[in-house]
Amino acid sequence: MKTPVLLILVLFTVTVHAQTNINNYKYVIVPEKFSFSKSENQYGLNSLVRDLLEEKGFTAYMSNGQIPAEVASNKCGSLVADVAEKKGIFVTNLSILLKDCQGNIVFKSKEGKSREKEFQTAYDEALRDAYTSLKATPYTYDGSTFTQTQTQTATAVPAPVTPAPAAAVPAVAAITDATGTLYAQATPNGFQLIDTTPKKVLTLLKTSQPDYYIAANGPVAGVVFKKNEEWLYEYYKDDKLVSQKLQIKF
């Protein structure tokens, strides 16, 4: 009799943890393209995820749409939606994931399934099936995470003493070419880039924007992003902006 009781207690603990986490969030950002998709909003999945999250009670925004300034500037106050596909024979399998700003999974739905042959119908049916487990999970926004991260941001960044120029000129740096190929190894929150030695060169942390990473190299912090089909690593050295091309193999 002890085993069933222990199992019930474990399941109850996991459920309460999931409910508490999603209750902390009001906003969800939905990317315009999921990792397995070949084009933006393929099969209408991204807009469907947004609509289902709105139905659940979240306030959801497409990442390429109009996002209120207070939400856009407070990334850790929002969840990021994702959809994972599991390959199967004659069956479409999809799961809905909600992640925090560090890439941690706050909620993962059950695996929705469809045996429809037509892609549009199959993806729609599998996604709606996956949503049933999120729909069944109690959710009431408690106001904690967004308010807390807003307060931290306001405390950490004081108001400027003087107004910024009306037309600010962006920093410009000479772009240096890549010195060699770097290989991306997946980590829980992003990737680490290693050279052929092998030696770790950079740590990349995911953000809510695709192809845009926070980069760390010891005490040096910067960003890595894709521009015109090229990867660039930008950081400041001696108060000067440095921009370097990278050759990355994922």
Task: Kindly tell me if the per-residue pLDDT of 155 is higher than 80.
Answer: no
Last residue of a domain, one of 121, 154, 187: 154
Give the domain range for residue 19: 2-154
Same domain, 46 and 9: yes
More confident residue, 112 or 172: 112
pLDDT tens profile 128-138 = 999 999 999 99
Token pair 């000067």 in the structure block, residue? 240
Question: Strands, E, within 27-127: which ranges?
Answer: 27-30, 59-62, 78-86, 92-99, 105-108, 112-114
Winning range, highest mean pLDDT, from 14-23, 124-133, 154-163: 124-133
Q: How many domains does the chain have?
A: 2
Same domain, 121 and 205: no
Same domain, 11 and 103: yes
Q: Confirm whether 82 is domain-assigned.
A: yes
* Pick from 104-108, 130-134, 137-141, 154-158: least confident: 154-158
The confidence score (pLDDT) of residue 9 equals 40
Q: What's this model's pTM, rounded to 2 decimal places?
A: 0.53
**What CATH code is carried by the domain that includes residue 9?**
3.40.50
The confidence score (pLDDT) of residue 35 equals 87
The confidence score (pLDDT) of residue 165 equals 57
Task: Kindly tell me if the per-residue pLDDT of 26 is higher than 50.
Answer: yes
Same domain, 87 and 206: no
d(CA 163, CA 17): 45
